[in-house]
C-alpha cells in the first residue's frame, strides 16, 4: 500500500512514507504571502489561489499564515482568518463560506501515536477536518484531526475541539463541548 492510500485510510505513516508528497508543499509561496503588505489585496488574493487547494470569493487572511502544505486547504466565499492561523493540512481541511477564524487558531489534521515506540521517523496519522458555513472559531482554539464543526456554530476562545460539534451551538472548553444552542434571542444581542 502506498503512502497516499495509507494516509487516506487514516493509518500510521512516516516522514519517509510522505516524502513523495513534498511537491504539494507551498512553503515558498507562503513565505512570499507573509511578506506582502496588507494593502496588496490583489497580490495576496492571487497568492492564496496558488497556495490553497481552492479559494472562494473575497478571502481575507492576515499574516502570518502558516500551513504544512497549503494545497490541502479549501476555503469558501467571504472567509476571514486573523493573524497566526495555522493549517496542519497533511489531508484536506474544508472550510465553508462566511467562516471567521480569530488569531492564533490551529486546525490540525495530523496527530501522533501515544506510545513512544511508535513515534519513529515522525510516525503519524491524519484525518480530514470540515468547518461548515458561517462558523466562528475564537482565539487560541485548536481543532484536532477528524472533526466536523456544524453550520453556524461558535467555538469559544481557548477551546480544544476533539469531537464533532453540532450545528448552531456555542461550544467551549477543554475538551470542547456544546454549552448552549444559538437561538433567535441571539439576534438581539450586541446590536448597534
Long-range contacts of 181-184 (CB under 8 A, 24+ apart): 182/152, 182/153, 182/154
Beta bridge partners of 108: 88
Cell numbers for 30, please give them: 507562503
Buried b (16+ CB within 10 A) or exposed e, 7-40: beeeeebeeebbeebeeebbeebbeebeeeeeee
Q: What is the pTM of this model?
A: 0.94
Which pLDDT does position 192 carry in this prediction?
Answer: 44
CATH superfamily to which 3-180 belongs: Hexapeptide repeat proteins (2.160.10.10)
Cα 87 to Cα 166: distance, rounded to the nearest angstrom: 22
Full pLDDT tens readout for the chain, 192 residues: 787 888 889 999 998 888 888 888 899 999 999 999 999 999 999 999 999 999 999 999 999 999 999 999 999 999 999 999 999 999 999 999 999 999 999 999 999 999 999 999 999 999 999 999 999 999 999 999 999 999 999 999 999 999 999 999 999 999 999 999 999 999 887 754
Catalytic-residue membership of 31: no
| Number of other residues whose CB lies within 10 A of the CB of residue 76 | 20
Q: Where are the domains of the chain?
A: 3-180
Q: Which three cell numbers stand for residue 99?
A: 467562516
Output the pLDDT for position 191: 55
**pLDDT at site 6:** 87
Q: Which of 31, 74, 112, 115 is catalytic?
A: 112
Amino acid at each position: 500500500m502506498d503512502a497516499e492510500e495509507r494516509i487516506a485510510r487514516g493509518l500510521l505513516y512516516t516522514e519517509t512514507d510522505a516524502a513523495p508528497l513534498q511537491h504539494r508543499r507551498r512553503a515558498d509561496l507562503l513565505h512570499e504571502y507573509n511578506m506582502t503588505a496588507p494593502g496588496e489585496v490583489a497580490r495576496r488574493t492571487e497568492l492564496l489561489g496558488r497556495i490553497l487547494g481552492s479559494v472562494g470569493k473575497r478571502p481575507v487572511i492576515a499574516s502570518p499564515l502558516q500551513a504544512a502544505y497549503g494545497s490541502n486547504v479549501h476555503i469558501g466565499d467571504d472567509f476571514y482568518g486573523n493573524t497566526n492561523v495555522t493549517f496542519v493540512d497533511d489531508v484536506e481541511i474544508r472550510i465553508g463560506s462566511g467562516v471567521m477564524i480569530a488569531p492564533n487558531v490551529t486546525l490540525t489534521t495530523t496527530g501522533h501515536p501515544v506510545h513512544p515506540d511508535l513515534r519513529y521517523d515522525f510516525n503519524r496519522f491524519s484525518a480530514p477536518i470540515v468547518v461548515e458555513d458561517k462558523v466562528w472559531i475564537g482565539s487560541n482554539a485548536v481543532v484536532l484531526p477528524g472533526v466536523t464543526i456544524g453550520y453556524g456554530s461558535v467555538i469559544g476562545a481557548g477551546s480544544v475541539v476533539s469531537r464533532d460539534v453540532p450545528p448552531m451551538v456555542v461550544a467551549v472548553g477543554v475538551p470542547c463541548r456544546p454549552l448552549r444552542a444559538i437561538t433567535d434571542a441571539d439576534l438581539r444581542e450586541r446590536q448597534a
